[in-house]
Amino acid sequence: MRNRSSFIAELDSAIKKGTMILPEKTVVLMPLLLFLLFAAAVVSLSLGRYPVTWSDIYDFFTAVLSGQSLAGCRKLQILKNLFIDIRLPRIVAAMLVGASLSVSGAAFQSMFINPLVSPGLLGVLAGASFGAALGMVTTSTWFAVQISSVAFGLVAVAAAVGMAAIYRGDRLLMLILGGIISSALFTSLLSVVKYLADPYSQLPAIVYWLMGGFSAIDAETVWAVCIPMVSGIVVLISLANYLNILSMGDEEARCLGVNVRLIRMMMIFPATLISALTVALGGMIGWVGLVIPHIARMLVGPDNRKLLPASAVIGAIYLLVADDISRLAFTVEIPIGILTSLVGIPFFALILAKSKKGWN
Amino acid sequence: MSFICMDHVTYGYGNTPVLNDINLCLGKGEVVSLLGPNGSGKTTLLKVLLGLCRPQNGEVRLEGRPVRQINAKALARRMAYVPQTHKISFAYRVIDVVLMGRMPHKPFFFRYSTQDEAQALKALEQLSIAHLRNRPYTEVSGGERQLTLIARALAQGADILVMDEPVSGLDYGNQIRLLAQIATLADHGYTFIKTTHFPEHAVWISDRVVMLKGGKVLANGHAPMVVNEENLYLLYNTDIGMADLDEGLRVCVPRNMLGHFKKRKPVDSFNYFTPNPLKQVI
């Protein structure tokens, strides 16, 4: 037993000099997860209809890294086409979507102090689905569909936040109610669009889109959304300190000097943007944003400083593997949204039953 | 010089005034207890003090400066809120809860430094609960949770601690230990402003007692003077007797309990089915 006053003196000198008092925790999990993600990406690159051997991958990347020109070799040309233009964009898209949905899910769960919340809480997914469907019916270009999807995702959340601002009362509760209203509104508008769509061409396209999938991915779109999605994820992770405080309740957060409204909006905007972008990239992919944060919480605990990065990486791995299964399991591709729900729901039920602490 | 002053503070939700023309001056280093029946405006007064509610009328001043002119972070470095023990949804470690107190000292984007961790640990050690640092906050006892929140206030560097019913939900022993802890910290120069439902607690450790009823100040002054039978009757509409124990420690007893107490009879079944509990203990 240490003497108390000497311990306090020791702490005082630590405060002055900045020496370590608490032993540094050995963090093996994050490097491990990142390695798993890298491994999953490399394996995914090798999987597919066109047979590729490990030595092909090795040859290709040594050629690229050594700066060798690919033009001379036909085989390398084919491999470049396969890896860089076809498989890599899809792999990156799956990782981005998985990471985005998981991070915004985790952030929303802490912000709304409710472990049952998912990224669609404020209506972004409903709005983005409606936007995509509307785009499919009224425009002919894929780009317009994606723009419309993102735009209506943002509009739906703006509507929810606007409604919450008008009504008096508990801010969080009003935001949730605004989200419910906004979601319901855009879901019914989606039904209207479905009803008006051409039942032979447009309606199947909408329905198929809403099941989620990366088969329509093109390289340019992926590289274009890469920057906003990664920066959205980075912003959310860099505000994780505030999430811990927000989850103690508004009044406490304000008494700790936090501008609660500003921080909340600073988190809702990137979360909404990256969620809307997931719909533009891969349609509706359910359950990722709810299940992955729970798995991450069981691994690293509830501290958002660790939870958000862990959620991002685990979500990326999860959706990457799910996408591999969806494109390889059967001769016809299974929509990934169906897969994530079918796998996610029982898995979720299982881990909740097994975990003693519930969502702690 | 007045430390914290409320000048003609009026606050209401909608049209019903909760605080009606409150004038108060609190001194530096005082332990102030707010007494009052449910709905008398105690908690609202704390919220106005903390700047959570902006008064419709009047002004709160800290060392002469209006509180609404002080920015949130600067105010948080002076004044800390210790809420009633609450059950939070996420099981953060005790040290992480205390670390949140360092927030007002940090820039917008930040990481807690090793200094912050040492500060948090020191705050825990000052309250002798450093051994709990890695336990989940949700799993420690109610008393330990309240101490954790006080440690957070200390880590915040605040010299004014605003507490809403600090002893509520604690067992009797923990209540007393918490009061002793507050008294010790007050000796080190901290100012406490707390609400309580126990007149005794107010007499035991407070310098000043403020009685609130219907949003107005009923009495305000030196604790042993203000907490008397007459004022308690006015405050609670209950006849409360006061007595001094040997060394002068004051206790409160509700007089109307005497009648009920005398009517109690030994319960028959007790004699039949339970052996003398005293014997068991011995």
Say if B23 is an interface residue toward chain A (CB within 8 Å): no
**Span A330-353, average pLDDT:** 85
**Which of B51, B91, B112 shows the shortest C-beta gap to A357?**
B91
The distance of Cα A16 from the centroid of its chain, to the nearest Å, equals 41
Please give, rounded to a whole number of angstroms, the shortest distance from the CA of A122 to a CA of chain B. 21
Buried b (16+ CB within 10 A) or exposed e, A279-308: bbbbbbbbbbbbbbbbbbbbebbbbbbbbb
**Span A147-164, average pLDDT:** 96
**Span B238-252, average pLDDT:** 89
Chains A, B: CB contacts under 8 A, how many? 109
Sequence-distant (6+) residues with CB within 8 A of A194 are A133, A203, A206, A207
Say if B72 is an interface residue toward chain A (CB within 8 Å): yes
Say if A8 is an interface residue toward chain B (CB within 8 Å): yes
Q: How confident is the model at residue B260 (pLDDT cuts 50, 70, 90)?
A: confident
Break chain B into its structural domains and give their ranges. 4-281
* pLDDT value at B233 more than 60: yes
Longest Cα separation, chain A: 81
Interface test mutation site (partner A, options B90, B100, B119, max chain A beta carbons within 10 A): B90
One DSSP character per residue, B51-99 reads TSS--SEEEEEETTEEGGGS-HHHHHHHEEEEPPP---SS--BHHHHHH
* pLDDT tens column, A22-50: 766 667 889 999 999 999 999 999 888 88
One DSSP character per residue, A154-195 reads HHHHHHHHHHHHHS-S-HHHHHHHHHHHHHHHHHHHHHHHHH
Interface test mutation site (partner A, options B52, B89, B135, max chain A beta carbons within 10 A): B89
DSSP for residue B136? B
Q: Mark which residues 107-126 of A lie under 8 Å from B by CB.
A: 110, 113-115
CATH class as words, domain B4-281: alpha beta
Break chain A into its structural domains and give their ranges. 73-354
What is the bridge-based pairing of β-strands B31-35 and B4-13?
unpaired
- Give the position of tokens 């769509």: A197
* pLDDT value at A67 more than 80: no
Interatomic CA distance for residues B58 and B72, integer angstroms: 19
C-beta of residue B119 within 8 angstroms of C-beta of residue A15: yes
Q: How many residues does chain B have?
A: 282
C-beta of residue B173 within 8 angstroms of C-beta of residue B118: no
Residue A15 has what pLDDT?
A: 80
Q: Which pair of tokens denotes residue B202?
A: 């107010």
**Span B142-147, average pLDDT:** 92
Using a CB-CB cut-off of 8 Å, the residues of chain A touching B114 are 14, 18-22
Say if A9 is an interface residue toward chain B (CB within 8 Å): no
**Span A104-122, average pLDDT:** 92
Say if A293 is an interface residue toward chain B (CB within 8 Å): no
Inter-axis angle of helices A219-238 and A304-328, to 10 degrees?
Answer: 160
Mean pLDDT check: name the lowest of A4-8, A119-123, A184-188, A270-274. Answer: A4-8
**Span A287-301, average pLDDT:** 91
Say if B92 is an interface residue toward chain A (CB within 8 Å): yes
Residue A358 has what pLDDT?
A: 46
ipTM score for this prediction: 0.89
The distance of Cα B102 from the centroid of its chain, to the nearest Å, equals 22
**Span B8-33, average pLDDT:** 90
Using a CB-CB cut-off of 8 Å, the residues of chain A touching B46 are none
Residue A104 has what pLDDT?
A: 97
CATH class as words, domain A73-354: mainly alpha
Q: Mark which residues 234-263 of B lie under 8 Å from A by CB.
A: none
Which of the residue ranges A14-23, A71-80, A338-347 has the most confident prediction, judged by mean pLDDT?
A338-347
Q: Which of A285, A341, A326 has its CA nearest to residue A119?
A: A285
Residue A1 has what pLDDT?
A: 45
* pLDDT tens column, B155-207: 999 999 999 999 988 899 999 999 999 999 999 999 999 999 999 999 999 99
**Other residues' Cβ atoms within 10 Å of the Cβ of residue A350:** 10
Inter-axis angle of helices A304-328 and A288-300, to 10 degrees?
Answer: 130
Residue A74 has what pLDDT?
A: 82
Q: Mark which residues 178-207 of B lie under 8 Å from A by CB.
A: none
